[in-house]
With several copies, the nearest count.
Chain A
Amino acid sequence: MRRSALVERALDAARLEAEVAHGGAGAIAVFVGTVRDVNDGRPVTAIEYSAYGPMAERELERILEEACASAPALRAVVEHRIGLLAVGEASVVIAVSHPHRAEALRAVETIIEELKQRVPIWKREHYVDGTREWVHAGSSQVTC
Chain B
Amino acid sequence: MELDVLLFASYADAFGARQARVSVSAGATVSDVLQAVLAQMPGKQLPRAAVAVNQAYAPADARVNPGDEIAVIPPVAGG
Interface residues in chain A, defined as those with a beta carbon under 8 Å from any beta carbon in chain B: 33, 49-52, 54-56, 58, 80, 91-92, 101, 112, 115-124, 134-144
Contacting residues, chain A, for B24 (C-beta < 8 A): none
* B44 lies within 8 A of A92 (CB): no
Residues of B within 8 A of A116 (CB): 76-79
Q: Is the CB–CB distance between A144 and B38 below 8 Å?
A: yes
How many of B's residues come within 8 Å of A, CB to CB?
27
Residues of A within 8 A of B76 (CB): 116-122
**27 pairs from A and B in contact (CB 8 Å cutoff):** A50-B8, A50-B9, A51-B78, A52-B71, A55-B52, A58-B56, A80-B79, A92-B79, A120-B71, A120-B76, A121-B77, A122-B8, A122-B9, A134-B10, A134-B13, A136-B10, A137-B75, A137-B77, A138-B75, A139-B48, A139-B75, A140-B47, A140-B48, A142-B48, A143-B45, A144-B42, A144-B44
Contact A123 B52 (CB under 8 A): no
Contacts of B77 in A (CB 8 A): 116, 121-123, 134-137
The A-contacting residues of B in range 37-63, CB under 8 angstroms, are 38-39, 41-48, 52, 55-57
Kindly name the residue among A49, A119, A142 whose own CB sees the greatest number of chain B CB atoms within 10 A: A142
